[in-house]
Chain A
Amino acid sequence: MRIINILPGRPLALFLALLPFAAVFIAYAIGSELRLAENPADKLLPAPSTVWDTAVRLVTQPDRRSGDILFWQDTWASLKRLGLGVGISALVGMIFGLAIGLLPLVRSCLAQFVAVLSMIPPLALLPILFIVFGLGELSKVVLIVVGTLPFLIRDLSQRVLEIPQELIVKAQTLGASSWVIAMRVALPQLMPRLILAVRLSLGPAWLFLIAAEAIASDAGLGYRIFLVRRYLAMDVILTYVIWITLLAFAIDWVLRWASRRFFPWAEQGL
């Protein structure tokens, strides 16, 4: 039998899905065991139990100086920046995507401009953002917007252009104005695409967020990671990295769920 025709059953599929996770964990545990056996004070690969203890301490014990639990403060600060940045990007991207996709005049004016803009490496703009917007929240949010918006505009305008011309013509024969076509035909069909595009741009958004926090901040997940790097506190770094991964995964899952829940007609490919 050809290997392309061998399908795993449900238990095997579950086992195979868990296998790489278990493999990474075991590889890490062995590596940590070996290093700690040689030097019990080794900080590079802390034992899984140490990481767990640190994680519990981080999420439950308040900071001695401020009395706040820094872990949750960092999470809140980062999520706020990420949500604002991605939210603004999605909204502006949707408006420009619709305009470029539907209106030939706007398309002629902006399509090439956006294509050129999207080639600018956003991190190269970071110093400019810090100079112009200061070191506060604004520059971090703007970096996320600058980093994700060109992609969103290009992707969404392309999706609008992919709406079959037949539907646009049909709406016109039903007497729809340009506004009605945008609001009742193009926008609803764009929404699931918007969610998909936001899911894809969340990866870059996290990247820009952590980069901005690493350079200038006083709270945030990325800030904390780069702060404790000085003390080689691998247990803290690992806890934060796993937490960021979980957050990113959860956000992705929620968006996918929302897409299925609210746009059941757009089943395929989401």
Chain B
Amino acid sequence: MSFVVVQDVFQNYGRRPILERVNVAVDEGEFISIVGASGCGKSTFLRLLLAQERPTRGEIRIAGAAPAREPGLDRGIVFQRYSVFPHLTVRENIVTGESFRRGCGRFFGAERKATLARADDVLGRIGLDHVADQYPATLSGGMQQRLAIGQALSAKPRVLLLDEPFGALDPGTRLSMHDFLQDLRAETGMTVFMVTHDLEEAFKLGDRVLVFDKPRWDPQDPNLYGATITYDFDARDGGIPFQTLKEDTHVFQPA
């Protein structure tokens, strides 16, 4: 059975349908890019995956567990903005990944020391060790997003959700963030869903690209029908499918 199963999901806001008949199954470790025009329910779909909203109909299961009713430890999220805590230093932001699940939200004594050391490890890995004691507001956009990803990963979620994480970055920073994300992924083998407006980015990073669009369109009332997944591309090998032959052709095949 697949790791993430989305079954027959409908979402309405009031009487207005946003999503209809969304079905998709994702294996563990897959990187799913989600693209589509504005207002086609990409971000709604991500909020449903996050359990920030619950679907009007249908259900979403992760690893066979019961559908979640609120955001929790199993799903990590990075938003385009406001993903890190502005009142905590960079190091403390990483520490929250482990400390917030505790009853009082912080560590003391030896435990705190160990967590701080682990946080410094993470900071070294994401290249932010030189700004560990600064507040996020002093960091550039790319550094803030690296911090947000590091923070989300230090909570060790089962699924990482990215909502246009690089949308506000300049093209150069964006490219280096792609490398950063691909390295992290190779390291952790994490299941990732990423919403993006950038098709190139979607195909470069994703194993699959889901396209959200409205299959039915009423010219008098564009809001009459909701959107659904209209294409599900295999994006490995540069988006050209069937490039890797499943069989070894240069082997003698006994009859």
Contact = CB atoms under 8 A, between A and B. Distances in A.
Interface stretch (B31-39, B103-111, B174-182, B215-223): B103-111
A177 B75 CA distance: 15
A188 interface: yes
Nearest to B77: A173
A170 B70 CA distance: 12
Contact of A265 (B77, B106, B135, B151): B135
Given A263-B87, A267-B137, A177 B103 contact: yes
A180 B96 CA distance: 11
A260 to B, nearest CB: 13
B17 interface: no
Contacts of A185: 85
Contact of A175 (B79, B100, B106, B136): B100
Interface in A69-100: none
Contacts, number: 82
Contact of B72 (A166, A173, A188, A266): A173
Contacts of B100: 171, 174-176, 180, 184
Contacts of A250: none
User: Which residue, of A164, A172, A179, A188, has the highest number of chain B Cβ atoms within 10 A?
Assistant: A172
A8 interface: no
A174 B101 contact: yes
Interface residues of A, number: 24
Given A172-B71, A172-B72, A176-B100, A184 B105 contact: yes
A26 interface: no
A166 B79 contact: yes
A269 interface: no
Given A175-B100, A265-B135, A169 B87 contact: no
A264 interface: yes
A171 B135 CA distance: 17
Contacts of A167: 82-83, 85
A173 B70 CA distance: 9
Interface residues of B, number: 34
Interface string A176-190: 110110011100110
Contacts of B70: 172
Nearest to B86: A265
Interface string B125-157: 000000000011100000000000001100101
B50 interface: yes
Nearest to A163: B82
A175 B101 contact: yes
B73 interface: yes
Contacts of B165: none
A173 B105 contact: no
User: Which residue, of B75, B85, B136, has the highest number of chain A Cβ atoms within 10 A?
Assistant: B85
Contacts of B71: 169, 172-173
B5 to A, nearest CB: 20
Given A174-B97, A175-B101, A266 B52 contact: no
A129 B191 CA distance: 63
Nearest to A180: B105
A175 B72 contact: yes
18 contacts: A164-B81, A166-B83, A170-B83, A170-B152, A171-B96, A171-B100, A173-B77, A176-B100, A176-B105, A179-B103, A180-B102, A184-B96, A184-B105, A184-B106, A189-B86, A265-B87, A265-B136, A266-B87
Given A164-B82, A174-B101, A176-B100, 12 more contacts: A169-B50, A169-B71, A170-B77, A170-B82, A170-B84, A170-B151, A173-B155, A175-B72, A175-B101, A185-B85, A189-B86, A264-B135
Interface of A: 164, 166-167, 169-177, 179-180, 183-185, 188-189, 263-267
Interface of B: 50, 52, 70-73, 75-77, 79, 81-88, 96-97, 100-106, 135-137, 151-152, 155, 157
